[in-house]
Structure 1
Amino acid sequence: MELRVGHVRVLIKEGDITEEDVDAIVNPANSLMVMGGGVAGAIKRKGGDVIEREALRHAPVSVGEAVATTAGRLKARHVIHAPTMERPAMRTTAEKVRRATKAALLLAARMGLRSVALPAMGAGVGGLPVRDSVRAMLSALRDNLDRLSGLQEVRLVAWGRDAYREFVEAAKEFGEG
């Protein structure tokens, strides 16, 4: 599914975020930058320990801030780490996801990136329902368009068919809102 939010093309797809060939993928991190489980663990396994070692040098990173690292063996050029929770395995909220997404997108824009891919921020380990996550991410994109001039494409990557259906439903609801 594809939609436009201002000047940005938003592509919603099912897949593995660690396989995305974009300028950056976004890691819904914890403030300590420990990459143990969920998306962070998958990024570390596929891209290598170098990503976590580099991220740890920036710790702690508050919710609402973001840092970028290299992407190791991933196809993406960078990993943007945007905490959705303060400590590993904490529950998160839609507001924290909105703040984390905003921080990731603004950092991507400052870096001059044209394409980024995000998972359902906060929906795995963080326990947020997928639809709430997607609505918060799209809201962050819409509310900060004027500061994202170079960004051309945002991919929202759903892990599995059920999650993909939730992404699509949330996007439809967002478009009607």
Structure 2
Amino acid sequence: MLLVKMGDITEEDCDAIVNPANSLGIMGGGVALAIKKKGGEEIEKEARAKAPIKLGQAIATKAGKLKCKYVIHSPTMEKPAQKIPLENVRIATRAALDLAKKLNLRSVALPGMGTGIGGISYEDAAKVMVEECRKFKDLEIRLVAFDPTFYKILKKLVEKNG
């Protein structure tokens, strides 16, 4: 099931939320920083202890004070604050969802992958994310948009393709 929500991903009550990470596990900006601020420093400490995380891989950490059970860290970039190619959005989305399946999770929430620091447009990221999410029919996937424009783009794409 694929759902689109407007809101703050750090407030999601599900099995896991996804952090569009860097390979070093540093949570210094964007969604990563919001997760660290709300969930606690221990999330970053655990992620950095498991680094480096290659593009195309994902790791899970405990979720600290967040409502979810896990944070899945799936790199969209190697180093913090890099601009990325669109293919990294596809690779990171797939890696996060593959790990959710391996962990036997039922529900996972994703923010815009690569839409902040990575510099990918909302339209391009939404198209690729929805394509990848549709391959995981047995997972409840929540696409959580913090920005109303991104929400509308996601909603339109999901409704258009059923």
TM-score (norm: length of structure 2): 0.94
Specify which of 137, 142, 147 is matched with residue 160 of structure 1.
Answer: 147
Deviations 1:123-174 (A, max 9, x none): 01111011211111122223x43xx64x2x100000022221122234356x
CA contact (8 A) 2:110 2:141 kept: yes
Q: For residue 83 of structure 2, what is the amino acid of its counterpart? A: R
Cα separation, 1, equivalents of 2:26 and 2:141: 25
1:98 to 74, 90, 95: 90
- Poorly superposed stretches of 4+, deviation over 4 Å: none
Deviations, residues 39-77 of structure 1 (Å, cap 9, x unaligned): 000000000000000000111111110000000000011
> Is 2:114 the partner of 1:122?
yes
Map 1:125-164 onto structure 2 (within 5 A).
125-142=117-134, 144-145=135-136, 149=138, 151=139, 153-164=140-151
Matches within 5 A, 1:2-151: 9-142=1-134, 144-145=135-136, 149=138, 151=139
User: Aligned pair in 2 of structure 1 residues 46, 104: CA closer, same or farther (>3 Å)?
Assistant: same
How many residue pairs match? The answer is 162
Q: Is the 8 A contact 1:131 1:169 kept in 2?
A: no
Long gaps (5+) in structure 1: 1-8
In the TM superposition, what is the alpha-carbon distance from 1:94 to its structure 2 partner?
2.0
Distance 1:167 1:75, change over 3 A: same
Identity %: 53
Q: Is the 8 A contact 2:115 2:121 kept in 1?
A: yes
The code of the aligned residue for 1:169 comes to K
- RMSD, aligned α-carbons: 1.5
Contact 1:131–1:170, Cα closer than 8 Å, also in 2: no
